[in-house]
Amino acid sequence: MNFKLCPLCQKEKILSSVLSFCRDCIISDFIRVKPLLDKVHRETRKAFSLPEGVSDKREGLSCKICSRECLIVEGEFGYCGLRSNSQGRLLGPKVNEAKVSWYLDPLPTNCVADWICPGGTGVGYPKYAYRPYAEYGYYNLAVFFEACNLNCLYCQNWHFKYASLNRRYRTLEEFLEAITPVVSCICYFGGDPSPQAPFAIKASFEALKKCKNRILRICWETNGHFNPQLLDKVIELSLISGGIIKFDLKALTPEIYYALTGGENSVVLDNFKRVAQYIKERPEVPLLTASTLLVPGYVEEEEVERIAKFIAEINPEIPFRLLAFSPQFYMKDLPLISKKTACSCLERAKKAGLKRVSLGNEHLLK
Binding residues for [4Fe-4S] cluster: 148, 152, 155
SS3 103: strand
Within a 10 A sphere around the Cβ of 169, how many other Cβ atoms?
A: 18
Say how far apart CA 336 and CA 238 lie, in whole Å.
34
- Residue 216 identity (one-letter amino acid): L
User: Using an 8 Å Cβ cutoff, are 71 and 85 in contact?
Assistant: no
From the list 29, 39, 26, 113, the residue with the least C-alpha distance to 303 is: 26
Helices (H), the chain: 23-28, 30-46, 118-121, 172-177, 197-210, 228-241, 254-261, 266-276, 301-314, 339-351
Say how far apart CA 14 and CA 261 lie, in whole Å.
18
